[in-house]
Amino acid sequence: MTDGPRFEPWKTLQFYANAGERRELETFIEAIGPSEAFRSLLRLDASDRERVLTTLSPAEAAEIMEEIPGEHAADFLERLPVGDAASIVSSMESAEQADLLADMHRDEAEAILAEMSPGHAADVRELIRYPRDVAGGLMVTEYLSFLETDTVSSVLDRLSEWVERWPNQDAQVYVVSPLGTLIGAVDLQDLVLSRRTLPVSEIVRPPRFVSVSFSLDELDSMFECHQLSAVAVVDDRQKLLGVLRRDDLNRALKERRDTDYLKSQGIVGGDEIRSLPVLTRTRRRLSWLSLNILLNIIAASVIAVYEETLSAVIALAVFLPIVSDMSGCSGNQAVAVSMRELSLGIVKPYEAARVWLQEVSVGLINGVILGCLIAAAAWFWKGNLYLGVVVGTALACNTLVAVSLGGTIPLLLKRLKVDPAVASGPILTTVTDMCGFFLVLSIASLMLPNLVTG
């Protein structure tokens, strides 16, 4: 039995774009969804991607662009005529606009901003200045605000216009002073049920708000604690600047996890997908790999010092990678816990001593158990008790070293303003390899007569 023809959306995108069939193209994208449309775009070459994006209406193209990781979306837009790119950007939410323009080359970003109205461009520039991992970098400036003296009727009228313009936007209604200071918020249910002539000051409630400088972890903690869907963002003078939604925070947290994972695997300098230029992908990987060559040479230099011991007991060569790898695994577990606790604010970078004390007991117990297991395996394999003692002792000691380093390295790096996600792995691997090789070979050297004759 043979499979039927495979459905390949990118070919359909290519066909409609080349034919200039906007209506059919938009209908097809609506059917497959923006996420599938993004994946299909990656299969097209640059000219076909440009043709698809310029054939679509700016609003439809903007929906797809919002699915694309930042710098890749910026790369796509930079290839478009400035007018088309500006139309697409203008159809996005304010936070998406700021993120996208921040990822673009300065000249291209300024050209797009020049196509916007001066007021709109100024608002976007204001958002760009905030880091992406704080409330100011995640908030949107599309929100509804009213004075205390406004009536329920006027609020409902503007709310109707708002929903028509931003159908996918949560309608958040806030009450501010004439100077823009946040006073409170109004529930939509209260609006609908209140008399239309009533001033909103009669139904206003105390607002939930965060500072513009709140970090991702502080925001996550607040949203979890109060079960919020959105929260107001204010500056030091309590002036309302924007609104942060739970969905946008979740997206930022996921992006951070993805970025940390890529960094831990040696993908540095930004996100990577295979549609990027080959030289860009090569450069991002090679910087990490080149460093690892140096670190591995340093670790392997320990073996050269004990070359005679290794030549006398070849069986040690089998256990060297086992000891270093098992210790590395234990150390990486400790790194993961420290990274997690740092992100949640459970530990602070200056608490390395406390973390070390908590890891020592775990490392000691696990080290003894793992050491006994590998000692039994070595004794059973070669029938030499002393070989088991050597590798078992080495693994137990190296496990203790690994968890001690794994628990404290992220905290020390954080204090030094170095990204723990990038540097913890190479440092831990190098040190545990060196210590593992040293412990196995140095203990073996002390017991060499028993190993050779035993």
pLDDT in tens, 33-76: 877 887 888 788 878 888 888 888 888 888 888 877 767 788 88
* 67 & 175 share domain: no
pLDDT at 453 over 70: no
pLDDT digits (tens, 9 = 90+) for 231-258: 999 999 999 998 998 888 988 888 888 7
Torsion sign over Cα 136, 123, 140, 158: positive
Spell out a b/e string for 222-237, using b for 16 or more CB atoms within 10 Å of the CB, else e.
Answer: bbeeeebebbbbbeee
β-partners of residue 134 are 215
Q: Which domain does 15 fall in, by range? A: 9-129
Checking phi first, is residue 227 left (phi over 0); if not, alpha (psi -120 to 50) or beta? Answer: left
Q: Is 49 part of any domain?
A: yes
Give residue 5's pLDDT: 46
Give residue 1's pLDDT: 40
Q: Is 136 part of any domain?
A: no
Q: Is 271 part of any domain?
A: no
* 112 & 152 share domain: no
What is d(CA 124, CA 413) in angstroms, rounded to the nearest whole number? 34
Q: Where residue 177 sits, what CATH number does that domain have?
A: 3.10.580.10
Token pair listed for 83: 């007018």
Scanning the structure block, which residue is given the tokens 């938009």?
26
Give residue 239's pLDDT: 92
Number of structural domains the chain divides into: 3
Mean pLDDT of the chain: 84
* Mean pLDDT along residues 374-383: 91
* 14 & 94 share domain: yes
* 99 & 190 share domain: no
Spell out a b/e string for 308-339, using b for 16 or more CB atoms within 10 Å of the CB, else e.
Answer: ebbeebebbeebbebbbebbbebbbbbbebbb
* 285 & 309 share domain: yes
* 29 & 166 share domain: no
SS3 (DSSP) at 147: strand
Q: Is 396 part of any domain?
A: yes
Q: Is 416 part of any domain?
A: yes
Q: Where residue 406 sits, what CATH number does that domain have?
A: 1.10.357.20
Could you say which of 212, 239, 264 is where a domain stops?
Answer: 264
* 359 & 210 share domain: no
* 248 & 283 share domain: no
* 116 & 149 share domain: no
pLDDT at 78 over 80: yes
Q: Is 441 part of any domain?
A: yes
* 415 & 291 share domain: yes
Q: Kindly give, in sequence order, each residue whose CB lies less than 8 Å from that of residue 39, ignoring residues fewer than 6 positions away.
A: 9, 10
Could you say which of 216, 234, 264 is where a domain stops?
Answer: 264
* 248 & 286 share domain: no
* Mean pLDDT along residues 402-409: 92
Q: Cβ atoms within 10 A of the Cβ of 378, count?
A: 24
pLDDT at 346 over 60: yes
Q: Is 420 part of any domain?
A: yes
pLDDT digits (tens, 9 = 90+) for 50-60: 888 888 888 88
Band the pLDDT of 391: cuts 50, 70, 90: very high
What is d(CA 277, CA 271) in angstroms, rounded to the nearest whole number? 13
Torsion sign over Cα 331, 344, 126, 169: positive
* Mean pLDDT along residues 360-379: 93
Q: Kindly give, in sequence order, each residue whose CB lies less than 8 Å from that of residue 267, ignoring residues fewer than 6 positions away.
A: 284, 285, 288
Distances from the Cα of 420 to the Cα of 283, 284, 410, 443, angstroms:
21, 18, 5, 33
What is d(CA 334, CA 50) in angstroms, rounded to the nearest whole number? 47
* 217 & 291 share domain: no
Rg over alpha carbons for the chain, rounded to the nearest Å, is 30
pLDDT digits (tens, 9 = 90+) for 151-164: 888 888 888 777 76
What is d(CA 33, CA 118) in angstroms, rounded to the nearest whole number? 34
Q: Is 91 part of any domain?
A: yes
Rounded to the nearest 5 degrees, what angle is found at the Cα of 452, between the Cα atoms of 450 and 454? 50
Between 264-278, 308-322, 340-354, 420-434, the lowest mean confidence (pLDDT) is in: 264-278
Between 87-96, 279-288, 329-338, the lowest mean confidence (pLDDT) is in: 279-288
